[in-house]
């Protein structure tokens, strides 16, 4: 989705300019990365199902000439996506079973998730909402009212999670309007944003965004999404500083991905780099079994073995919780693992 043009003669913010320049044609991305199309294995069928989208700043962190770069593999359409794999479905986490109003998903006690937009700055090939019917289940486009009324009428709800897509794909005017409406609901205490944009498009953290964050009375949490330390360059660290200075909590959730971060050394480096950027590791998700992403999955026992090694290398505050989301469960399902016995 191309961001809307600015209104009233205002100049479009830098992040929108950068988003318009994002790679959307695979051959352009390959040329930039100096990759041979035959080596990369472009699959047109996968593109029809889920188009390519990669900000240029994120592509700049990829290693040129390396078709196995861990950032490249997260965004590149593979023929493996079209393999029919039993158990991998369209609605992997049961979102559609828990919709209250258009775009309002209520899975867990005390909090609701608002699908604010279907747009993202980057299209990750393992995305659990890659098949989500955004045209039917979207709270934006002047349709906030039913969702807001539902939230206002349920005093058990204390936290609203803005998700998508990526909520920061919306303009700051639209976000300010939405957050002001949430502020006016007295029983709400917390606002959580699930966003990858500060990682892949750090220009998104600008004065306009900070202005509406400064106005909200709600305690605010950003749950970011980085899977590899190479995603967290100095520009990302610098962009996050104003959020930290405002006391906004920064957490990270990663997905365990075969061929990308499925070894203890890579995960340890990720946790250490996250902390250097002021972000606490929060969740390490086992892959949501969405149709088209089976080639990224790891067996649970391999994930448990990784956690045992990781626990011996990192302090507890840098150790993410290993979890799986199970459709219909009342919370994330923690995956148990036993620490390695100390050597004699």
Residues in the chain: 344
Contact assessment for residue 327 and residue 94, using Cβ atoms and an 8 Å cutoff: yes
Q: For residues 271 and 276, what is the distance between their CA atoms, to the nearest angstrom?
A: 9
Alpha-carbon span 178 to 248, nearest angstrom: 19
What is the rounded (10 degree) CA torsion for 254, 294, 123, 212? -40
Element (H, E) at 308: helix 300-313
Using CA of residue 28, residue 29, residue 35, residue 39, what is the dihedral sign?
negative
Beta strands in 130-264 (DSSP E): 159-163, 190-194, 219-224, 249-255
Closest CA to 170 of 4, 337, 336: 4
Binding residues for [4Fe-4S] cluster: 120, 124, 127
Annotated binding site: which residue ranges?
120, 124, 127
The DSSP bridge partners found for residue 163 are 115
Integer angstrom CA distances of residue 31 from 26, 28, 148, 186: 9, 5, 46, 53
Name the region of 186 (left: φ>0; alpha: ψ -120 to 50; beta: rest). alpha
State how far the alpha carbon of 203 is from the alpha carbons of 21, 199, 209, 260, 315, in Å. Answer: 13, 9, 11, 25, 32
């Amino acid at each position: 989705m191309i961001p809307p043009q600015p209104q009233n003669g205002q100049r479009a913010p830098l992040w929108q300019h950068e988003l318009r320049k994002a790679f959307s044609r695979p051959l352009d991305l390959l040329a930039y990365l100096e990759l041979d199309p035959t080596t990369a294995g472009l699959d047109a069928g996968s593109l029809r199902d889920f188009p390519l989208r990669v900000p240029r700043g994120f592509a700049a962190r990829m290693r040129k000439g390396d078709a196995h770069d861990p950032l490249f593999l997260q965004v590149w359409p593979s023929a493996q996506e079209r393999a029919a794999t039993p158990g991998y479905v369209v609605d992997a986490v049961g979102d559609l079973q828990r919709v209250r109003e258009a775009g309002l998903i209520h899975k867990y006690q005390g909090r609701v998730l608002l699908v604010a937009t279907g747009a993202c700055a980057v299209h990750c090939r393992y995305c659990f909402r890659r098949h989500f019917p955004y045209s039917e289940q979207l709270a934006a486009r002047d349709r906030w009212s039913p969702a807001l009324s539902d939230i206002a009428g349920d005093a058990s709800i204390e936290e609203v999670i803005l998700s998508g897509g990526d909520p920061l794909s919306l303009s700051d005017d639209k976000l300010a309007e939405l957050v002001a409406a949430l502020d006016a609901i007295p029983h709400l205490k917390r606002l959580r944003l699930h966003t990858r944009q500060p990682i892949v498009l750090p220009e998104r953290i600008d004065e306009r965004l900070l202005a509406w964050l400064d106005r909200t009375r709600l305690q605010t949490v950003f749950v970011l999404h980085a899977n590899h330390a190479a995603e967290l360059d100095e520009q990302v660290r610098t962009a996050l500083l104003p959020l930290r200075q405002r006391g906004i909590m920064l957490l990270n959730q990663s997905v365990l991905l075969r061929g990308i971060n499925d070894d203890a050394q890579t995960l340890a480096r990720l946790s250490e780099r996250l902390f250097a950027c002021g972000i606490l590791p929060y969740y390490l998700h086992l892959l949501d079994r969405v149709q088209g992403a089976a080639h990224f999955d790891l067996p649970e026992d391999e994930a448990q073995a990784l956690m045992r090694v990781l626990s011996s290398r990192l302090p507890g505050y840098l150790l993410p919780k290993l979890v799986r989301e199970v459709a219909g469960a009342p919370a994330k399902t923690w995956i148990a693992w036993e620490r390695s016995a100390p050597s004699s």
